Amino acid sequence: MPNKLFSLLTKGKDLDARAYDETTTHIAAGDIVIFNRTKRRKVVAVRDYPTFLYMFEGYDGRSEPLKRIAPGMSVNEAIALLRGVYPSAERHGVRVLELLTFYQGNAHKKWKK
């Protein structure tokens, strides 16, 4: 089974959770991010959390929907996988990127959520 956490093609996946580190600190709303050298996504919002658990269960009156980050997974499964990929996130924090899908046509650009 493909890893739905990292597949930006998974239906409903428009949030990307990452460790807050030198590769994500500069990302801001309005930026275009390229994933796997082929998938272009526009960042519409950036939110920070102290841990993956706070990201899902709530922090400062906000939380992220599990189905938009890790469709088909439980909170515990998603957290275990994220901690395995980003072990430093528990020390430095978590950054969530809210993304739009980017399509580039011949004559124009089209943004679609």
**Tokens of residue 80, six digits:** 């275990």
Report the candidate in 99, 100, 63, 62 with the shortest Cα–Cα distance to residue 78.
63
Sole residue written with tokens 């004559």: 107
Return the pLDDT at 11: 57
pLDDT over threshold 70, residue 40: yes
Express each pLDDT in 45-87 by its tens digit.
Answer: 999 999 999 999 998 889 999 989 988 889 999 999 999 988 8
Residue with tokens 């939380």: 63
The predicted pLDDT at position 4 comes to: 45
* Domains of the chain (ranges, CATH numbers): 15-112 (2.30.130.30)
What pTM was computed for the model? 0.79
Terminal-to-terminal C-alpha distance of the chain: 25
Tell me the per-residue pLDDT of 1-15, one tens digit each, with 9 for 90 and over. 345 445 555 555 789
- Report the C-alpha gap between 31 and 21 in whole angstroms: 17
